[in-house]
Amino acid sequence: MTEGNISKRIALFALPIFIGQLFQQMYNIADSLVVGNFLGKQSLAAVSSSGSLIFLIVGFIYGVFVGAGVVIGRYYGAQKYDMVHKAVHTTVAFGLAAGVFLTVFGIIFTPHILRLMKTPEDVLPESVRYFRFYFLGSIGNVLYNAFNGIFQARGDSRHPLYYLIIASLTNVLLDLLFVGVFGMGIAGAAVATAISQFLSAGISLYKLTHVNDVHRISIKSIRFDRQLLKEVLATGLPTGVQNSVIGFANVIVQSNINVFGSDAMAGCGAYSKLEGFAFLPVTSFSVSLTTFTSQNLGAKKYDRVKKGAAFGLASGVILAEIIGILFVLLAPQLIGLFDKSPEVVAFGVKQARTEALFYCLLSYSHCMAGIIRGAGKTTVPMLVMLICWCVIRVTYISITTRFIPDISVIFWAYPLTWFLSSVAFTVYFFKADWMHNFERQEQKMLEKNGQ
Give the model's pLDDT for residue 57: 67
Give the model's pLDDT for residue 137: 87
Cβ proximity of 194 and 134 under 8 Å: yes
CA distances from 394 to 242, 409, 419 (A): 15, 12, 15
Break the chain into its structural domains and give their ranges: 6-444
SS3 content of the chain, % helix, strand, coil (to 5): 85, 0, 15
Give the model's pLDDT for residue 399: 92
Residue 259 phi, psi (nearest 5)? -60, -25
Give the model's pLDDT for residue 40: 75
Mean pLDDT per 10-residue segment, the chain (451 residues): 81 80 71 75 67 68 79 84 92 92 88 79 82 87 90 82 87 89 87 91 94 90 90 81 74 82 84 79 83 80 84 90 92 87 91 93 92 82 88 91 90 95 90 59 53 48
Give the model's pLDDT for residue 27: 65
Q: Cα separation of 309 and 294, whole Å?
A: 12
Cβ proximity of 37 and 45 under 8 Å: no
Give the model's pLDDT for residue 49: 60
Q: Cα separation of 107 and 101, whole Å?
A: 10
Give the model's pLDDT for residue 48: 64
The three-class DSSP label of residue 2 is coil
Q: Cα separation of 382 and 379, whole Å?
A: 5
* DSSP 8-state assignment for residue 388: I
Q: Among 86, 191, 87, 204, which residue's Cα sits nearest to residue 142?
A: 204
CB within 8 A of 153, min separation 6: which ones? 68, 69, 70, 71, 72, 73, 76, 215, 291, 294
Cβ proximity of 67 and 381 under 8 Å: no
Chain centroid offset of residue 267 CA: 22
Give the model's pLDDT for residue 441: 55
Give the model's pLDDT for residue 193: 87
Q: Cα separation of 313 and 318, whole Å?
A: 9
CB within 8 A of 114, min separation 6: which ones? 49, 53, 124, 127, 128, 131
Query: What interhelical angle do 41-48 and 186-210 show, nearest 10?
Result: 40
Q: Cα separation of 188 and 293, whole Å?
A: 42
Q: Among 84, 87, 72, 89, which residue's Cα sits nearest to residue 222?
A: 89
Residue 422 phi, psi (nearest 5)? -60, -45
CB within 8 A of 447, min separation 6: which ones? none
Give the model's pLDDT for residue 221: 93
Task: Label residues 59-79 b or e (16+ Cβ within 10 Å = b).
Answer: bbbbbbbbbbbbbbbbbbbee
Give the model's pLDDT for residue 165: 86
Give the model's pLDDT for residue 160: 83
